[in-house]
Amino acid sequence: MKKIEKLMVANRGEIALRVMRSAREMGIKTVAIYSEADRQALHVRYADEAVCVGPPASSASYLRADVILDVCKRLGVDAIHPGYGFLSENAGFAQQVQEAGITFIGPSPEAIELMGSKLAAKAAVAQYNIPMVPGTEYAITDIEEAKVIATNIGFPILIKASAGGGGKGMRVVERVSEFEEQMQLAVSEATSAFGDGSVFIEKYIGSPRHIEIQVLGDTHGNIVHLFERECSIQRRHQKVIEEAPSAVLTPELRDQMGRCAVDVAKACNYVGAGTVEFLLDENLNFYFLEMNTRLQVEHPVTEQITGLDLVKEQILVAQGAPLSFAQEDLTINGHALELRVYAEDPTNNFLPDIGTLTTYKRPQGLGVRVDDGFEEGMEIPIYYDPMIAKLVTFGKDRQEAIDKMIRAIDEYQITGIETTLPFGRFVMEHEAFRSGNFDTKFINRYFQDPSVLKPSPAPEEEEIAAVLAALFAGKAKKTTFTPSAAAVTPTGGMSDWRKNRMK
């Protein structure tokens, strides 16, 4: 087994710190890279060595493969962990790393490239009879031919432009009588936007759940799955809250999806940690969506329910070690939740709210984990993803994990910027989430009035000011103060006035 002595983390923030901590426990020295905007970042101070790789913009720093490899050569780095984002799913970078004689902690360049193409990925897994969303396997422009295909698939169907994305050239068709008109509109829009009017047709899954399966493979042909994660609470198609296990999967369905995920990994000879993503419809039918060939942001919830350190497992696999466990050795223990704490304003369409962490105090206690890369007084850079931290809670069951999450959100003190913490509390207390009866349209369906997160209006402050004035005037005995209903927060146990004074 080839022992890794010095590891570079080609990333930043909380994931860089998270990888470095596991590496340190394994006796591996670490190298951090940073942009000029991250000069004082925690991952820079934690690493054994750190090198600036360029200006703040990621294109001039964290995405500069040539500079990163040059640093590796100069410092004698023998392995690179890419984290997630940036160059983590760049097949060309993985190839360059290998050619430089450096171990890439991840799958092969071939696997990254294959799974990076949705059409190629579907073709590769077809031999394993993986359930797919019914639809065409090729682009089409002929309306009559398309209508026949759509009818065979069954309405509602989705028409999608083959040459682009962003919702352009995309139409949901509910019934056959609408098909011709919607097809013409989709073709016209696709032609206008991309210069190509060809489209794909597939079954429309209106309210799916997003379920993903964690897989792990070694260089000896062993591949296992580490159960599922529920990732259906999303804004702008990006996850905000994840949990493991899912509230709706039966043991039989879990086994089915797990076996399919392993087959997907086999289709590309997968090595390392990866995630196979599925859509689950209202009838609990599941369909292969794609594979992410890297560690996921939400991997901590899997670690909590399995007791495994996925980063350590990645490193061991990269060193050539076989997996130390088989599928039958793995069991689910308890329940875990993760809230991505973003510097975003949920009451303003989740738009970024960049600024300084005037107050930053983490929650603590049994069953609470915070993965972050910031401390009080630091600024959230405008150049990167606005995620501040991942707040993770773990309990013996789902209800206990939810209770711990609510407590942790209340303890988490952040001022200077707006965050997704209040939204997280809203979700934890919502009946749809508590019952498990939700899907990817949770925000559209239940968060139409973001004012529910706004602090109570200020009248109670005026009332309190009147009482204080009376006290100073020596009239306290004649004044009786009864707080308004808005001043009392039953769930928090404290008025907004008092909370604001404590910040």
Residues with active-site annotation: 294
**Among 252, 2, 276, which Cα is nearest to 124's?**
276
- Which residues, 6 or more positions from 351, have their beta carbon under 8 angstroms from its beta carbon? 344, 345
- Which residues, 6 or more positions from 482, have their beta carbon under 8 angstroms from its beta carbon? none
d(CA 92, CA 95): 5
Three-state SS at 91: helix
**Among 10, 15, 84, which Cα is nearest to 50's?**
10
d(CA 413, CA 375): 12
User: What is the dihedral angle through the alpha carbons of 309, 311, 316, 317, rounded to the nearest 10 degrees?
Assistant: 110
**DSSP per position, 364-426:** -STTEEEEES--TT-B--TTS--EEEEEEEEESSHHHHHHHHHHHHHH-EEESS--SHHHHHH
Residue 178's CB is within 10 A of a number of other CB atoms, namely 14
- Which residues, 6 or more positions from 41, have their beta carbon under 8 angstroms from its beta carbon? 12, 13, 34, 373, 378
H/E run at residue 438 = none
Residue 80 in contact with residue 103, Cβ under 8 Å? yes
**Among 27, 36, 29, which Cα is nearest to 8's?**
29
Q: Is the dihedral of CA 212, 213, 216, 222 positive or negative?
A: negative
H/E run at residue 217 = strand 209-217
Residue 402's CB is within 10 A of a number of other CB atoms, namely 20
C-alpha dist (Å) from residue 60 to 52, 77, 92 = 11, 21, 17
